[in-house]
Amino acid sequence: MRDVLSEGVPDPEAGMAPQEGWFSRENRTRIDELVAKLQTSETREGVSRYHAMAEGYLLGLLDCNHVSQAHHDAVRQYLHNIAIARLKRVRTTPRK
């Protein structure tokens, strides 16, 4: 695994995707699955659900690896940006 603590500080506005080598293959596969579900959710509830799941899982892994706060915030912003972009594309359905 790479030493993420020695890497440059990411742009807080743009966010930063999890990088190759940060996690084991199985953790990376799970992260990629959650991000894919977030990016393809068809409802606002789905976007909210998968955003929360991806954020919780990913930030938990980052905490375990003692990643810097700047990287932590950048990954959180990356997931937030994906969720916002998806919410703009999801059709709102009127409540009954």
Question: What is the pLDDT, as a whole number, of residue 5?
Answer: 39
Q: Pick the residue with more confidence: 44 or 2?
A: 44
- Domain coordinates in residue numbering, the chain: 19-89
The structure tokens 């929360």 sit at: 52
Burial of 26 (0-12, 13-18, 19+ CB in 10 A): exposed
22-48 pLDDT, tens digit per residue, is 788 898 899 999 999 999 999 999 999
79-91 pLDDT, tens digit per residue, is 999 999 999 999 7
Question: Closest Cα partner for 52 from 38, 71, 66?
Answer: 38
The tokens for 57 are 């899982």
Distances (CA, A) of 28 to 22, 23, 24, 85, 88: 8, 6, 6, 22, 27
Rounded to two decimals, the pTM is: 0.76
